[in-house]
Structure 1
Amino acid sequence: MTRFRPCIDLHSGQVKQIVGGTLSADPSALQTNHISALPAAHFAELYKTHALSGGHVIMLGPDNEQAATKALSAWPGRLQVGGGINPSNARMWIERGAEKVIVTSYLFPEAKFSQERLNTLLFDSLGGDRSKLVIDLSCRRQGDIWVVAMNKWQTLTDMEVNGGTIKSLEDFCSEFLVHAADNEGLQRGIDEELVERLGQWCSKPVTYAGGGKSIEDLERVKTLSAGGVDLTIGSALDIFGGKAVKFSDCVDWNTRQGV
């Protein structure tokens, strides 16, 4: 059943809402919708208060480890963490309190998918425990298809997001996270076609993020995906400076869904 999933996006140690497509090596290109005066741990405690588990803490670049660690400590075992995850640190993040680790870029050396790297992360670092791993297939639309994007969503890989890809990866993880990077932070609406396809392709839990701009988007995702896809709303939320969606309404939505 579709549910609202919370997030904590970290950039330079602060909780921020960023236009995803502007993340690059050029700091002057960055477009930021909101910089919170509150620390990451505050939002973790808020989610704990309202029993909003399964949220993702994403470290966008360096200098975010301390903030992420404090968020995980505020609600141990209920938040997922991503951003720079690899075999050398995956177990460490689980020990710091992450429910699951989220991986993207490590799986794509030179922008090409590596099954060997996925095996190393899952079996060597996580002891083969698929329940601890989320595969991030965040992507950019290329005509009629979606292509996984890495390196802060700037580099396209050789992997298309489709039914075959999803099926080949489902045995190696417990769920998927998919940011529609072209929609991320723009509050211009979700990629409805992608949401519908994810509902058809995925037999495991999947969370979509990117473009959510109203509480009605939760109902839209539920309908499009037949309840198979969860939704993250970021920049539009009042707790992140937005004016279109009240956090309390998202909490109420989950309550009505019985989740």
Structure 2
Amino acid sequence: MTKFRPCIDLHDGRVKQIVGGSLRDQGGGPIEKPAEMLVENYVADQPAGWFAAKYRDDGLTGGHIIKLGPGNDQAATEALAAYPDGMQIGGGITVDNAKQWIEAGASHVIVTSWLFDAVGNLLENRLKELVQCIGRDRIVLDLSCRRVSGAESMTWRVAMNRWQTITEIEITPESLDRLAVYGAEFLIHAADVEGLCQGIDYELVQQLGRWATASDVAIPMTYAGGVATMGDVQQISKSSGGAIDVTVGSALDLFGGNGVRYADLVKLNR
């Protein structure tokens, strides 16, 4: 059965909802923030720990904290302290700091960009190294992706560096099978619709659902991106046979949205 997975997105130390496609780097350094570029849907008055405590009190498990750039470690640490072993952490995760975040209270670490070289080639030896460091059951592989034009049809490929660099990994049953042996879960943001509240990437959800229900090595998977109404949540459940969980961001009333009620999602999980 599809469940709701809560999120805390951190930018400049504050809880925000941002249109994913508006994030940019400058030479690999801090995020640029000209008004015409970065689109913020919501900036919370409450600190990250407030949201983590709320999720804890409402019995929500398997959620994630994503650090969008530098300046977020303190807020992330406060959130993990408020809900020990209750949330995953992503953003700048490497083999050098993964154990530190587990010790700080993260149930899992979420990893993407560190697994690739500068041009997007997968460094599979790094996956093996991370498994040796903290164990497969503590790893979430973030395969957030963007649509690209293939030779015959539209496909999806994993995007790294805040979804700016397209990697060599295409979202296919074969690639999901290959990577599933290294992690406990997949997290997949549909970056092209992230934060837009204009509906999910239905075709991507269908493809993920087919893998989740048919593969012999399928692992839990969470989809995020574009959820605008409870109808979208129900569609994800229907298309995946209940095998894919869902994150809701900008449309959620908890984050200033008006498309989905947080109370309804809490009720869904119960």
Q: Normalising by structure 2, report the TM-score.
A: 0.92
Q: 1:166-185: CA deviations, max 9, x gaps?
A: 00011110010000000000
Q: What residue number does 1:243 align with?
A: 258
Could you tell me whether the CA contact under 8 Å between 1:20 and 1:185 is conserved in 2?
yes
Give the Å deviation of 1:60: 0.4
Give the Å deviation of 1:120: 1.3
**Which SS does the other structure have where 1:98 is aligned?**
coil
Give the Å deviation of 1:206: 0.3
Q: What residue number does 2:193 align with?
A: 183
Q: What residue number does 1:171 align with?
A: 181
> Which consecutive residues of structure 2, in runs of 5 or more, have no partner in the other structure?
26-31, 213-217
Q: What residue number does 1:138 align with?
A: 144
Alpha-carbon separation, structure 2, partners of 1:12 and 1:120? 30
Alpha-carbon separation, structure 1, partners of 2:131 and 2:21? 29
Alpha-carbon separation, structure 2, partners of 1:234 and 1:112? 30
AA at the equivalent of 1:177: L
Give matches, 1:1-259, under 5 Å: 1-25=1-25, 26-28=32-34, 29-110=37-118, 111-123=120-132, 125-126=133-134, 129-143=135-149, 144-202=154-212, 203-255=218-270
AA at the equivalent of 2:157: V
> Which consecutive residues of structure 1, in runs of 5 or more, have no partner in the other structure?
none
Q: Normalising by structure 1, report the TM-score.
A: 0.96
Alpha-carbon separation, structure 1, partners of 2:211 and 2:70? 34
AA at the equivalent of 1:205: P
Alpha-carbon separation, structure 2, partners of 1:217 and 1:253? 14
Q: What residue number does 2:28 align with?
A: none
Alpha-carbon separation, structure 1, partners of 2:54 and 2:232? 22
**Which SS does the other structure have where 2:175 is aligned?**
helix
Give the Å deviation of 1:21: 0.4
Alpha-carbon separation, structure 2, partners of 1:146 and 1:130? 25
Aligned length: 252
AA at the equivalent of 1:201: W
Higher percent of residues as helix: 1
Alpha-carbon separation, structure 1, partners of 2:210 and 2:80? 32
RMSD: 0.8
Runs of 4+ in 1 over 4 A off after TM superposition: none
Could you tell me whether the CA contact under 8 Å between 1:132 and 1:173 is conserved in 2?
yes
Give the Å deviation of 1:192: 0.9
